[in-house]
Structure 1
């Protein structure tokens, strides 16, 4: 009984959320033919308008540009090559916004289109510019931002794409300091196994920690129209909860799903924020910035970083990977080359090659000049669980 009361209390806190990011996937916005499902879109808009009119600040992260383009062009399948995808997205994005604008204007709500690429979030200056724009729209103009990845210019290389709008939504939530992230999907939440294949799968109502067993329950993408599976949703949850943001994963098909979530009703899966949350600058280091290289460290340095919360010293570095300069974001790898942290380097690749394994007292002699004692200072370092 106590567990249910505790869960009900946790859910009830969602009523206090003032800034909410809602993400909806392609499969929830389009038919199997690829054309937009106007009924679903109108239902989504009506729910968001209700939240907006109640005084909530809402940001919509919407997929569907490629799907809409497929339908408008009469294609029978999703484009495979980069030029095809970008061209179809260019057609679909305009039509998608046209429909959103029409629906939202019926409720007297002005919308603003924002298209982002991985580079926009990875570059610190552009990241802050995006934040300033969003905060102005929400706070001063009371407009409703509609965000999508800029598929017309983004490429398929991993470092230049979000991979899925789930990740983009989590980054946006962290960017604006949202209270709540809601992912609307074609599945009702996180299950013990894939409910489409396993009839014994059970819904997990609340996740306090994204443990290895939680990761193992994730399956593949749900439909041919979408790009994300449960893995991308768990990655979004990891970003959101570490950023101090509560996340709910629920089905877009549920009646009045948004108002029911915000009212505290037990629907979908609730992901609770971590106790050890990151501040704005740390969020960029951990999730938004794009690492330019990496250093491999020994076990002693791993212990110093993860358990003793120390800075990374040259003596703990055993190898350098990639090419980067002073101030660049780099990954920190353990001896098995698993990523355990990210941070801003005080030295270039060439400098670290010279000083790796060296005592801090030796640095002026090895380099011929004196700068920093730490490869990454603790203030510029974020460790992962």
Structure 2
């Protein structure tokens, strides 16, 4: 049965750790596997890192740039070279590709989010393999994905993928980094994300010399993908053939089971694509009403307002300890909320001088954060 497969490959798998040059044999093997998947009728999207590393190699720079302007300039040099390599290899197998460069703002605005979805769907209908990367040349810090693990999970969520493969420099998830801890134990299956806490998993944030993420970003990506109903796999990037074996039923790498009741498309957009502009702290009654009774948020339950935002911006809803319980689209600006917080809805017209919405965050525009326990 045809499925939608998103594959993310990191810089550590694409390049040689010693030289920074492209690992051409790995890239060729990956291209062959993805072309094979297309021939089997699957829709395939590749999220590829590597532009900064390749740009540095091209320019003779021996360490990863530290300033945003330098990184953007180097990425601009490397991205063209990276796509040239992919295009040559995919063309040899008669497989058309497309370059898609995204910034966070492409997913924040609802109209652009929907447009991105339509573009991906049209490319897949045409039998094209979209190759996605963050638009490093233009992205600003506040609207960066931060790493391609997150980007790949958001793309998989956007298109409603069946599988997300995170290809990295280790063969699976371990209880600690096996490169530094000889007692690290392999983890083959994660039924629920809470299981990782029970197993005392130490998810380090150390990537390679050229990469931006460690295992912590892959776990965060798996969290995003599984809440969207996407089965997620961490496996070795130097062995792309593992993708075919896993799809055929072999137990390789670490697999994360998808949630049985995944978010719908609008919930996924609110939970993962939007960047919260502020926080609302709630009393115990409001927390219970939202988490257990499925209610909307009313002004009476708000104890504190943090940040500056406008109506229809995304905000985090937090309990008294500051723990995030939900995210949602707010019906009032931070200025107005400072005036009406703690008051009954019937008092709002008198306080503000106009008849606003009865709810501060309506239930339809609200998503619980892991059943009200942690960040989405």
TM-score by length of 2: 0.95
Q: Offset of 1:21 from its aligned partner?
A: 0.2
**Which of 33, 39, 42 is equivalent to 1:47?**
33
Show the counterpart of 2:168.
Answer: 185
Runs of 4+ in 1 over 4 A off after TM superposition: none
Show the counterpart of 1:249.
Answer: 234
1:331 is paired with a residue of what secondary structure? strand
**Which of 71, 89, 95 is equivalent to 1:103?**
89
1:253 is paired with a residue of what secondary structure? coil
1:93 is paired with a residue of what secondary structure? helix
Q: Offset of 1:170 from its aligned partner?
A: 0.2
TM-superposition CA deviations, 1:253-307 (whole Å, max 9, x none): 2361111111111100010111231011110100001122221111221111111
Aligned ranges 1:106-121 → 2 under 5 Å: 106-121=92-107
Aligned ranges 1:34-113 → 2 under 5 Å: 34-113=20-99
In 2, Cα distance between equivalents of 1:224 and 1:252: 16
In 2, Cα distance between equivalents of 1:289 and 1:195: 34
Show the counterpart of 1:308.
Answer: 293
1:303 is paired with a residue of what secondary structure? helix
2:261 is paired with a residue of what secondary structure? coil
Show the counterpart of 1:383.
Answer: 368
Asked if structure 2 preserves the Cα contact closer than 8 Å seen for 1:326 and 1:347, the reply is yes
In 1, Cα distance between equivalents of 2:79 and 2:51: 5
Show the counterpart of 1:210.
Answer: 193
**Which of 344, 352, 355 is equivalent to 1:370?**
355
In 1, Cα distance between equivalents of 2:173 and 2:300: 43
Q: Does 1:237 align with 2:222?
A: yes
Q: Does 1:279 align with 2:264?
A: yes
TM-superposition CA deviations, 1:139-180 (whole Å, max 9, x none): 1x111100001111123x2x3111110000000000000011
Aligned-CA RMSD value:
1.3
Q: Comparing 347-356 with 362-371, which one deviates more in the overlay?
A: 362-371
Show the counterpart of 1:225.
Answer: 210
Unaligned ranges ≥5, structure 1: 1-15
Show the counterpart of 2:134.
Answer: 149
Change in Cα spacing, 1:119 to 1:258, as seen in structure 2 (3 Å) is same
Asked if structure 2 preserves the Cα contact closer than 8 Å seen for 1:124 and 1:289, the reply is no
In 2, Cα distance between equivalents of 1:52 and 1:255: 15
Q: Does 1:126 align with 2:134?
A: no
Q: Offset of 1:77 from its aligned partner?
A: 1.3
Q: Does 1:170 align with 2:153?
A: yes
In 1, Cα distance between equivalents of 2:91 and 2:245: 24
TM-score by length of 1: 0.92
Aligned ranges 1:251-266 → 2 under 5 Å: 251-254=236-239, 256-266=241-251
1:80 is paired with a residue of what secondary structure? coil
Change in Cα spacing, 1:103 to 1:75, as seen in structure 2 (3 Å) is same
Q: Offset of 1:17 from its aligned partner?
A: 5.9
Show the counterpart of 2:373.
Answer: none
Asked if structure 2 preserves the Cα contact closer than 8 Å seen for 1:148 and 1:165, the reply is yes
Change in Cα spacing, 1:214 to 1:166, as seen in structure 2 (3 Å) is farther
In 2, Cα distance between equivalents of 1:193 and 1:287: 27
In 1, Cα distance between equivalents of 2:211 and 2:269: 27
Asked if structure 1 preserves the Cα contact closer than 8 Å seen for 2:174 and 2:201, the reply is no
Unaligned ranges ≥5, structure 2: 371-376
In 1, Cα distance between equivalents of 2:9 and 2:200: 22
Q: Offset of 1:361 from its aligned partner?
A: 2.2
Asked if structure 2 preserves the Cα contact closer than 8 Å seen for 1:164 and 1:232, the reply is yes
Q: Offset of 1:374 from its aligned partner?
A: 0.8
In 2, Cα distance between equivalents of 1:298 and 1:230: 35
